[in-house]
Structure 1
């Protein structure tokens, strides 16, 4: 049977996996796997931070051109969360050996307790496991809702605007400065997908 620890770990591992991180990378993967995960992390890191840099430039440009504080603070929380996600992912990579050892120790602790009969202990473990699963499920749910809201809001607003004016006004989830016209129909689909993936990458790193 899958251990309680592994069962809980599996609920969050997929977010780390597709961000190029792994909770037990060196102990369970080959050199080729490690290289592949490293490249995936670097690509995701660069992908996300092109948007973070663009957000910072948008804030600076807005402040220089007299935008209202309410307009400037619209994108600031997103930038802050992305920077937090960056820091967390970097520290996970730097502390990979310690993290691998920690997961190994926790798994061994659970195995060492297998077979022991203690009703009080079993009750506490089951209660805490249920609570942990609720927390993980809640985090996954709200992260998913956040990504969906940011991804779909521009499309909804575009549909509303089209119904009013019968004209298509292209919009994007985030206010970001690019070295090209991101609202040009030639670039807009790519930029839109780029921003959606960045929000997924940010959500994954926050877990």
Structure 2
């Protein structure tokens, strides 16, 4: 974008299109990091797997869920089915994983600032960790409920009940970002990529004007 680097968070509810929005910004020259990929890397660490299994093995056994595959790796889908079934389970998992997510995302943002590189952090959970303070603005990608439901079903092939459980867990996500003290902009995504690109461009104009102190 020129001048002082811009660090953005792109977020949104499940299947709203935040990945597509992040890819649009990446094509414009933004360095991009996907928090889901960061989590995936963390959950591949044997010490983290050991902590997760120790924390949830009893709860998983009660529900007939196997958390570990035969090769010893963590079954992320099974873990997801468990932690999204109860709010307390999700909080317990996040207490293990999020501190390391925060550390890695902060390092990414700091590195981009040092290089003068605009950057986008693609993340749903950024409002829960300190790295939100590194972001100049939040782009919240939104889409109609049934559009998201069908997208999630086609993309992840999960049972509807599991998709709806995740939808329910994210029901107040926009208000949580609004309360995070980050400038938050809602961008609509109905499924047409060209429309999303236009909406992102309009949002970026607003962010740039705010950055310059204009209305």
Normalized per residue, the structure richer in helix is 1
- Shorter-chain TM-score: which interval? under 0.3
Q: Which has the higher strand share?
A: 2
Q: Scaled by the length of structure 1, what TM-score is found?
A: 0.24
Based on CA coordinates, which of the two structures has the bigger radius of gyration?
Answer: 1
Using the size of structure 2 for normalisation, the TM-score is 0.23
